[in-house]
Structure 1
Amino acid sequence: FTYRSGLDAADRLLDLADAPSAIFASNDDMAAATVAIAHRRGLDVPSDLTVCGFDDTALATTIWPELTTIRQPVVEMSRMAVELLVHAIRLSKAGRLGDIGEPHILADYTLIRRQSDAAPRRRPAARPRTG
């Protein structure tokens, strides 16, 4: 989940005979690496390749084009984690830790559209590696 692994993954994906027209990376570092590989290959982001990241880090607005990304509700997720931990501690002290069950929590993620996404093309442009 590093910039380096993003470079490697983007290279492998864009080397495919039927290369994708969009890549959704696991995080913004990997998405930034994907944009770098696309630029090295002469691909235009987003005209030739849509790139989307995850986390909405500061990096998302410091590269060109600015990354479309998914923003996580970090404050809300932190609050829920603390509540679950306090609940588990209370159950444990009462000798009822087995009552905790498996919580299922849904979080509201937000798509932050910037400049790295566009409507898909019919066929992705195949461009060989350079350098």
Structure 2
Amino acid sequence: MKRAVIAVAGVLLLGVGVLLLVLPGPGLLLVLAGLVVLASEFPALERYVDPVRSRAMKAAEDSVSSPLRIAGSVTAGLLLITAGLVWGFVRSLPLSGWSTGSSLILSGLVLLGLLAWSHRRVRARRTTSRTSP
């Protein structure tokens, strides 16, 4: 039973991550999360975790590589949250309702959270590299 629950959770994360590769949201990080969950029960998948992890971390670091990218990412996150609120309240829009609105809001919050995490990670790495001999 435990293995089935883990498999379903991993496939769900992986599937949502693949969808978010083309939709707004942190697709690569959810693909990574899905692979990590699945690899915990299916060791044959572990060989895919490291390549995806390195690409996901590179993408996270690239997102905060310049002030312009940070501003663009913050703007995108705020626009996603605003769009979610609009889709939740305005019933005349296509696919309107809180199911669409909440997913947009969640995507915006996750984007802003990951942006803050990436910025802190890059800043800490820069500080460490400056202080080490």
Provide the TM-score with structure 2 as the length reference: 0.25
Larger Rg: 1
Higher strand share: 1
Higher relative contact order (CA 8 A, sep 6+): 1
Q: With the length of structure 1 as denominator, give the TM-score of the two structures.
A: 0.26
